[in-house]
Amino acid sequence: MTLATTVLAGAKDRVLPPSIPFRYFGAAVLFHPGLWLLVLIDAPETVGFSGGTGLSLAALHILTLGVLATTAMGAALQLLPVATRQAMPAHWPARLGFWLMVPGTLMVGHGMATATGWAMALGGAMAATALAMLGVLIAINLMRARDLGLVAAHGQVAIFSLFALLVLGLLLVFNFAHGFLPDHRAVARAHVILAGYGFMGMLVAGFSQILVPMFALAASPDRTLGRAGLWLAVLALALGVAGALGGVNALVIAAIVAGLAATAAHLTAMARVMRKRMRKRLGLSFVMIRVAWVLLPLSLTIGLLDQLGLLGERGGTLFVFVLFAGWLLTMLLGVLQRILPFLATMHPAGDGGRMPTLSQLTAEGPLKVATICHLAALAVSTAGIATGQELVLRLGASVGLAGAIAFAVFAAPIFWRLMRRRSRASNPENQTSG
């Protein structure tokens, strides 16, 4: 089942109202500038970040919970209910999840920035509850799926990783106040692996099986390579988490090698899709997606060099930055800039006008600025972290902030159009008067 099938083929009861997925996408768009703003403010600490509370940890969680997880929730909620051709039992869990996730993320950010234990605990519990609800919804949908193959298998690994990372995350939050964990850093490393490569990474790899062929008009990815990549990734996750928790560097190194092999299988499959595509001009979104494909193995390589002790004291920060702000954020921004107008064209404006084209919903100028700024911000910020130069990191964060604002300017008309549609739908008189 494909994105277009899921969106197109869904009867009314299988398609969520656009307001549900788009509220998650909207939150991601708004949290995005917050990430760079926090890095800009806290550059001196971020260049040498080695754990503990503070603005750097808050920035990391604004990125992971506020931008990455909310985007994943929006995408999963849009696609999965109809991918399985199974109606969701109710819409309220998706709505409630949003109202837990957004305030929870803000509270976690506040708690981490100010080292306020109760805020971290309460916010963490709210965000964890939202993510757990999403995990249950996805798990139910995948259990009902008859023939989703690789997509479902990746989803199942992502959900397992999600629940594991939530448990570890809550342990870490409560440990800040009560200090009961024997090795906080070891649990934090396992939490990072599960969040980056487990939950988000497997969702990205799974949805790539659908989205990349659809955008490029190409054949489905090679299933043998897909299965090989999946099992290697599962092996890598198991070794990585065991190695991190047990403090066994050799296991972590073996995990990274397995992760690189999984990456090679995944990227080879994607490269074959791209070679055989019918659509040649793929636009800016695929610039971002291609860069993300480079950043995935780069993140693992940096992790490997760090494990081997070749990157000095800033190796860990560099790894986390390239993993989350590099690979995952770049990939999701690339997908979002394509999927937002695509999904919006599926919903008539309600004013009797004909469906808009993608280009009518795509503000090219702001999108170009957003893309250039994001890529420049990544390069400059990476250099700033690698060299320990806070001014360079500040420059990178400033450019990233400009890019995030430009992305919001690109997205705003799409949200405005959907809000106008919703307003017309709720007030039919407007349809004739306007």
Partner 1 sequence: MMDYMRSINRMLHDEHMATIALLERIESTLAAHRKAPPDAKAPDIAAVLRDLVASVEADISVHFAFEQDELFTRLSEAGDTGMTSILQEEHDVILPLGEQVSGLARTAIDSGFTEESWAEFRRLSAELVERMIAHIQKEEMGMLAALEEILDEDADMAVMMRYAELR
Binding site for partner 1 (CB under 8 A): 1-5, 7-12, 15, 213-215, 217-220, 278-281, 342, 345-346, 348, 354-355, 357-359
| Nearest approach, Cβ of residue 2 and partner 1 (Å) | 4
| Nearest approach, Cβ of residue 213 and partner 1 (Å) | 5
Measure the CA–CA gap between 160 and 156, rounded to whole angstroms.
6
- Nearest CA to 274 out of 216, 214, 204 is that of 216
CA 169 to chain centre: 17
CA angle centred on 152, ends 146 and 153, rounded to 5°: 120
Measure the CA–CA gap between 395 and 152, rounded to whole angstroms.
41
CA dihedral over 289, 291, 297, 298, signed as positive or negative: negative
Q: Which is nearer to partner 1, 275 or 281 (CB)?
A: 281
| Nearest approach, Cβ of residue 350 and partner 1 (Å) | 13
Place of tokens 């390069």: 379
Q: Which is nearer to partner 1, 279 or 368 (CB)?
A: 279
Measured in Å, how far apart are the chain's first and last C-alpha atoms? 38
Q: Which is nearer to partner 1, 109 or 213 (CB)?
A: 213
- Nearest CA to 288 out of 204, 391, 221 is that of 204
| Nearest approach, Cβ of residue 408 and partner 1 (Å) | 25
| Nearest approach, Cβ of residue 97 and partner 1 (Å) | 24
Q: Which is nearer to partner 1, 9 or 170 (CB)?
A: 9
| Nearest approach, Cβ of residue 3 and partner 1 (Å) | 7
Q: Which is nearer to partner 1, 16 or 192 (CB)?
A: 16
Residue 211 CB contacts under 8 Å (≥ 6 apart), including other chains: 3, 335, 338, 339
Q: Which is nearer to partner 1, 66 or 341 (CB)?
A: 341
Residue 348 CB contacts under 8 Å (≥ 6 apart), including other chains: 355, 421
Residue 315 is which amino acid?
G
Radius of gyration (Cα) for the chain, nearest Å?
A: 21
Q: Which is nearer to partner 1, 6 or 105 (CB)?
A: 6
| Nearest approach, Cβ of residue 78 and partner 1 (Å) | 14
| Nearest approach, Cβ of residue 217 and partner 1 (Å) | 6
Place of tokens 């199974």: 86
Place of tokens 């957004």: 102
Place of tokens 């690189």: 260
Q: Which is nearer to partner 1, 7 or 115 (CB)?
A: 7
Q: Which is nearer to partner 1, 86 or 345 (CB)?
A: 345
| Nearest approach, Cβ of residue 74 and partner 1 (Å) | 20
Measure the CA–CA gap between 19 and 402, rounded to whole angstroms.
27
CA angle centred on 329, ends 381 and 183, rounded to 5°: 80
